[in-house]
């Protein structure tokens, strides 16, 4: 080490983990202390319906009587505010913290969209800033008592997924959303590997857009191929949590800010989400470990 002026040794470099960082981690832990299950929703690929699944699953769990929150951590396409009917809401900061906005079915929502002037504003933030925004929000949001907090992420296993895994204490597990096709199967394998590396339990795979049922004759067409979910379950030992139909109600309802369980309560999609939610609760109550079984 080079000596400083006057023969004195140079001062040591600043600590890599300044006390402020420890403070942030502790604050996040305290803010989340009333949250029972912290679940991240992942996908290796965009457009497979991750946000759709998050919004509908949140509303389904809320309808079953659970208290549910959603944290929308997709900087490039924050969708939760629109899908849960609270687009245009503003976050209000109080001395004691920030309260989430109450959306459809009573789901508590924090979305990056609340920080942007409008939906069209592009967000060009780099990794460290995204991490800072996550820490800033998570150390200030007052979630209160929640049974579930779902984290909606952008596609892939990039900065955001890593940030969540590293900043959120005691992540209960991850759900991986996919569509039945080979490319998607590879994406699931990647997500599974990611979970393993970060020590986040993989709760299971949700196969979205699995089939389309003709509204006239009831015949089923498997548009993106068949059996991928089962194949993944068999070959990778990852639990298939459910298969969701391709349903025109989905886009229509969510565009109106009403998740399917509220807007089309008798639909096949609503029933599929109810089954999925029940299965998830069962797994969590048993301990949630491992994606297989």
Ligand X SMILES: Nc1ncnc2c1ncn2[C@@H]1O[C@H](COP(=O)(O)OP(=O)(O)O)[C@@H](O)[C@H]1O
Residue 54-93 contact track with Mg ion, rule CB under 5 A, x = bound: -------------------------x--------------
Contact call for residue 47 and ligand X (CB under 6 A): yes
**Least separation in angstroms between CB 240 and Mg ion:** 21
Q: Report d(CA 39, CA 176) in Å as an integer.
A: 11
Q: Report d(CA 121, CA 112) in Å as an integer.
A: 11
Of the pair 57, 79, the CB lying nearest ligand X is at: 79
Q: How far is CA 280 from CA 60, 61, 68, 81, in A?
A: 12, 10, 14, 24
Residue 240-269 contact track with ligand X, rule CB under 6 A, x = bound: ----x-xx--xx--x---------------
**Least separation in angstroms between CB 251 and ligand X:** 3
The full DSSP string for 207-272 is E-S--EE-TTT--EE-TT-SSHHHHHHHHH---EEEE----HHHHHHHHTT--HHHHSTTSHHHHH
**Least separation in angstroms between CB 44 and ligand X:** 10
**Number of C-beta neighbours around residue 65 at 10 A:** 7
Q: Of the candidates 70, 79, 175, 188, which one interacts with ligand X according to CB under 6 A?
A: 79
**Least separation in angstroms between CB 50 and ligand X:** 3
Backbone phi and psi for residue 123, each to the nearest 5 degrees, phi listed first: -110, 120
Q: How far is CA 159 from CA 20, 71, 82, 137, 165, in A?
A: 22, 16, 24, 16, 10
Of the pair 67, 157, the CB lying nearest ligand X is at: 157
Contact call for residue 185 and ligand X (CB under 6 A): no
For 14, the token pair is 């600043």
Q: Of the candidates 4, 18, 23, 46, which one interacts with ligand X according to CB under 6 A?
A: 46
Subset of 122-161 contacting ligand X (CB under 6 A): 155
CB 130 within 8 A of CB 164: no
**Least separation in angstroms between CB 250 and Mg ion:** 13
Instruction: Give the dihedral of Cα atoms 286, 105, 166, 185; nearest 10 deg.
Output: 70
Subset of 26-45 contacting ligand X (CB under 6 A): 43
Contact call for residue 180 and ligand X (CB under 6 A): no
Subset of 5-64 contacting Mg ion (CB under 5 A): 50-51
For 26, the token pair is 């502790």
What is the binding site for ligand X (CB under 6 A)? 43, 46-52, 79, 155, 208-209, 244, 246-247, 250-251, 254
């Amino acid at each position: 080490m080079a000596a400083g002026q006057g023969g004195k040794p140079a001062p040591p470099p600043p600590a890599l983990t300044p006390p402020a960082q420890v403070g942030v981690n502790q604050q996040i832990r305290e803010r989340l202390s009333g949250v029972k299950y912290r679940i991240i929703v992942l996908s290796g690929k965009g457009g497979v319906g991750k946000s759709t699944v998050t919004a509908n699953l949140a509303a389904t769990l809320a309808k079953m009587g659970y208290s549910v929150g959603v944290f929308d951590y997709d900087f490039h396409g924050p969708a939760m505010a629109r899908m849960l009917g609270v687009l245009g809401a503003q976050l209000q900061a109080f001395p004691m913290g920030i309260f989430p906005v109450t959306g459809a079915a009573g789901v508590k929502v924090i979305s990056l969209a609340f920080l942007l002037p409008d939906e069209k504003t592009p967000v060009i933030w780099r990794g460290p800033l995204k991490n800072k925004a996550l820490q800033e929000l998570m150390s200030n949001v007052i979630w209160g008592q929640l049974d579930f907090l779902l984290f909606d992420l952008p596609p892939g296993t990039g900065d955001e997924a890593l940030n969540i895994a590293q900043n959120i204490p005691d992540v209960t597990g991850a759900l991986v959303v996919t569509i039945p096709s080979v490319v998607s199967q590879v994406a699931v394998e990647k997500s599974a590997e990611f979970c393993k590396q970060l020590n986040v339990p993989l709760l299971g795979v949700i196969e979205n857009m699995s089939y389309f049922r003709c509204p006239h004759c009831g015949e089923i067409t498997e548009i993106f191929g068949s059996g991928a979910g089962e194949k993944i379950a068999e070959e990778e030992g990852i639990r298939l949590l459910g298969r969701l139909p391709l349903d025109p109600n989905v886009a229509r309802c969510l565009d109106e800010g009403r998740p399917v369980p509220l807007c089309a309560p008798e639909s096949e999609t609503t029933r599929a989400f109810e089954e999925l939610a029940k299965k998830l609760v069962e797994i969590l109550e048993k301990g949630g470990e491992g994606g297989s079984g």
